[in-house]
Amino acid sequence: MPVVVKPEAPGDERGALLAYLDAQRGGIRRALHGLTEEQARSTPSASALSLAGVLKHVAYGERGWLRRLKADDGAQPDIAAQAAEWQQSFTPREDESVESLLAFYEQAAREIDDAVRALDSVDETFDSPKVPWDEGGTRSWRWALLHLIEETARHAGHADVIRESIDGKGAFDLVFETGTMPEPDWAAFGADPLK
The verdict on residue 58 lying in a domain is yes
Kindly tell me if the per-residue pLDDT of 10 is higher than 80: no
- How much is the mean pLDDT over the chain? 88
Q: What is the CATH number of the domain that holds 70?
A: 1.20.120.450
Instruction: Answer whether residue 37 shows pLDDT above 80.
Output: yes
Is residue 7 in a domain? no
pLDDT of residue 8: 66
What's residue 78's pLDDT? 77
What are the angstrom distances between the C-alpha of 171 and each of 125, 145, 176, 186, 187?
35, 23, 9, 17, 20
**Rounded to 10 degrees, what is the CA torsion of 29, 55, 125, 6?**
-10
Alpha-carbon torsion angle 82, 88, 94, 100, nearest 10: 60
CA 40/CA 33 separation, integer angstroms: 9
How many angstroms separate the Cα of 144 from the Cα of each of 59, 76, 103, 108, 128?
15, 19, 23, 15, 10
In a domain, 8, yes or no: no
The structural domain count of the chain equals: 1
Rounded CA gap, 188 and 193, in Å? 13
In this predicted structure, the answer to whether residue 28 has a pLDDT above a threshold of 90 is yes
Residue 9 — pLDDT band, cuts 50, 70, 90? low
What share of the chain in percent tops pLDDT 90?
61
pLDDT of 3 strictly over 70: no
Confidence class of residue 195 from pLDDT cuts 50, 70 and 90? low
Provide the domain limits for residue 101: 13-189
CA atoms within 13 A on the CB side of 43: 9
Query: pLDDT at residue 194 above 80?
Result: no
The verdict on residue 130 lying in a domain is yes
Within a domain: residue 168?
A: yes
Nearest to 101 by CA among 133, 144, 147, 55: 55
Structural domain includes residue 64: yes
Is residue 103 in some structural domain?
Answer: yes
What confidence score (pLDDT) does residue 1 get? 56
Q: Measured over all CA atoms, what is the biggest interatomic distance in the chain, rounded to whole angstroms?
A: 60
Residue 195 lies in a domain: no
Q: What is the mean pLDDT of residues 140-164?
A: 96
Torsion sign across C-alpha atoms 9, 70, 100, 162: positive
46-105 pLDDT, tens digit each: 889 999 999 999 999 999 888 776 765 556 667 788 778 888 889 999 999 999 999 999
Q: Which residue has the higher pLDDT, 83 or 43?
A: 43
